[in-house]
Structure 1
Amino acid sequence: MNTTRENGLAYLAAFLYAIIIGLSFLFVKMTISAAHPLDVLAHRFALSFFAASIPVIFGWLPVRIKLKDLWPILRLALLSPVLFFAFQAFGLMNASSSEAGIIQASVPVFTLLLASYFLKERSSGLQKVSLLVSVAGVIFIFAMKGGSLLGSGNFQGVSLLLLSALSFAGYSVLAKPLTRTFKPMELTYITLGVGFIIFNIIAVGRHSFDGTLNEFFQPLTDISYIGALLYLSILSTMVTTLLSSFALSRIEASKMSVFSNFSTLVSMAAGAIFLNEQLRYYHIIGAIMIILGVLGTNFLGNKRSSLDTAKQTVSTEAVLQKK
């Protein structure tokens, strides 16, 4: 497989990732209205891990991880899924989907800063401007819709969502060098396993302490909850982890992260198609800004910068392996 085709597949993976994430906030809100956020996360990762275990058990996708290799992957799993999903679920209890959408737009900015410092990824002035244009497009849409962070009074929810965005930015930066050592399925399987163990221990432990263990299983009798859980478990957790790991193995972390802003366009399109929501002029302006920003961030760089980034990424990987 040549480099051009590999990069094309990486961009396709990033685009599919954005589509799936764009629909996930709706399903998260559905599940946390029926169960405690910790129960949702426990159910979500149990289903994700069991689904991922099927091809591993049958040998269709072998996972060969040595004990000494676990530590860097465990650090990765702490950022996402553990902190990222935990902050997101609790944040959405006290904040709206619109606020979550605005804060999600900050991920590329955090990623660019962290990648510049830790991975020494270089970006041109035009790329930085393009990233800001994309972020501004997201904020413009929600501002015109009446969304406001400062006036919402949901400081706790907004703060948790901001920590969620920062956690995912850290995950993207840490995952980049690891994708050159481990296969996407290996990273996915271990991180899902960590999420499964941690969230289920916490959720079951909480119910056992309160004597309400029956409440842990009660939401699983709700068909609508199961439907939302399937989307979150299979597509929005397992598949997106695979897609992001694959994309990060081919393109820079800062370029991958800006695709998350496409999720805003997906949310808008879904609202227009399924909920008959109106698309107004500011939706179109914001969409154009997002698309131009994503294209500029990914294609306005220079070849020399890309080569330097690749060399720095390999150096970072060597440092992590020594640790």
Structure 2
Amino acid sequence: MFTKIALEYAKPMDTLMYRFAVSFAVMSLPVLLGRVKLNYRGKPIYKALLLATMYPLGFFTFQIFGLQQATSSEGGILYAFTPVLTMLLAFVFLKEVTTRLQMLSIFLSVLGVVFIFAMKGGGIELSNMTGIFLLFLSCLAFAGYSVLARSLLRTFSPAEISYMMLGIGFVTFLAISLTGHTAAGTLHTLIEPLASSTFILSTLYLGVLSSLLTALLSNYALSKIEASSMSVFSNLSTVVSIAAGAIVLQEEMTVYSIIGSLMIITGVIGTNHWRRRQSESRTFQSERADAR
């Protein structure tokens, strides 16, 4: 929602540049003050650069151009399938095994999101295929990030990965934005969006909460649990949106939104419950084998 608001005042690449300028600047403060320690010496930087091409570069580029041609509801439906893509990639590249009960739980959360959007009258319009394809690529990029980050977090700390991602995002989008404006002779228009308080508030939300905080928390979660288990939490954003609308905006809480939310929550809990049960079973079997 905040991305679509920001796009009313600035071009896609300008929006991304401002977004990551805010997130990188905010995280740079504790780094410069020595509160956050970073050490990249002797670590596979090239793999971290590959990670940054997926997230934030690939994810946000595909997302912001996709949202120009597709609706928010279409984006919501497509993003619900991100845990499924993550599960498949994690199985192929990380050899993460997902039980049938975990699979059913993941699909239940996906169906919950689709059910809510479908009942609201939202759907996927074939006339928006370009936007839909770009949003799908955005989902695929995020799934790829989740899998690769899971592997890299054995070597890097969550803060190191997050800071590099945000820094690369800022530098890349700044270079693209400046190059585009210079070629078009519109460099003077780059700061025009800053005259709008709405744009500034949207950018602060996107930079601090949607980029910085999300990167730190996602990377920390990926250092603790499987990629597929972490990814399914993204579907809770639909539940949070419904709850916020009912509490803050006094919007009506419909029966279908309650049913869909329960499906999503049950799916998220089930995915992680059966992950824990599987882990406990493996530990028990290992202990029995050692005892023998």
Structure-2-length-normalised TM-score: 0.93
User: Are residue 54 (structure 1) and residue 29 (structure 2) matched?
Assistant: yes
Once superposed, which parts of structure 1, at least 4 consecutive aligned residues long, lie more than 2 Å away?
A: 66-69, 270-277, 301-309
Offset at 1:308? 6.9
User: How far 1:99 sits from its partner (Å)?
Assistant: 1.1
What is the correspondence of 1:151-166 to structure 2 with a 5 Å cutoff? 151=125, 153-166=127-140
1:88 offset after TM fit, Å? 0.8
| Inter-partner Cα distance in structure 2 for 1:107 and 1:203 | 29
Aligned match of 2:235 in 261, 269, 277?
261
| DSSP-derived class of the 2:44 partner | helix
Q: Corresponding residue for 2:145?
A: 171
Corresponding residue of 1:122: 97
Kept in 1: contact 2:67–2:75 (CA 8 A): yes
Decide which moves more: 300-309 or 186-195.
300-309
> Is the alpha carbon distance of 1:129 and 1:222 closer, same or farther for their aligned partners in structure 2, counting shifts above 3 Å?
same
Classify 1:78/1:152 alpha carbon distance in 2 versus 1 (closer, same or farther; 3 Å).
same
Larger Cα-atom Rg: 2
Give the alignment partner of residue 299 of structure 1, picking from 255, 273, 276: 273
Q: Is the 8 A contact 2:43 2:155 kept in 1?
A: no
Which residue of the partner structure matches residue 148 of structure 1?
Answer: 123
- Aligned partner letter, 1:55: P
CA contact (8 A) 1:123 1:305 kept: no
The AA in structure 1 aligned to 2:210 is: S
Secondary structure of the residue aligned to 2:190 is helix
Residues 290-314 of structure 1, C-alpha deviations (whole Å, 9 max, x = no match)? 01111111102365557879xxxxx
Partner Cα separation in structure 2 for residue 35 and residue 180 of structure 1: 38
Matched, 1:92 2:67: yes
Taking the TM superposition and a 5 Å limit, the aligned residue runs for 1:163-312 are 163-301=137-275, 303=277, 305=279
CA–CA distance in 2 between the matches of 1:200 and 1:125? 45
2: CA distance between counterparts of 1:196 and 1:215?
19
What residue identity is the alignment partner of 2:241? S
| Aligned amino acid, residue 86 of structure 2 | T
Q: Tell me the SS of whatever aligns to 2:174.
A: helix
RMSD over aligned Cα atoms: 1.6
Deviates more, 1:50-59 or 1:132-141: 50-59
Deviation at 1:69, TM superposition (A): 2.5
Whether contact under 8 Å (2:70, 2:128) holds in the other structure is yes
SS, match of residue 78 in structure 2: helix
Q: Structure 1, residues 13-46: CA drift from partner, whole Å, max 9, x if none?
A: xxxxxxxxxxxxx111110111101100011111
Is there any run of 5+ residues in structure 1 with no aligned partner, and where? 1-25, 310-323
Counterpart of 2:191 in 1: which secondary structure?
Answer: helix
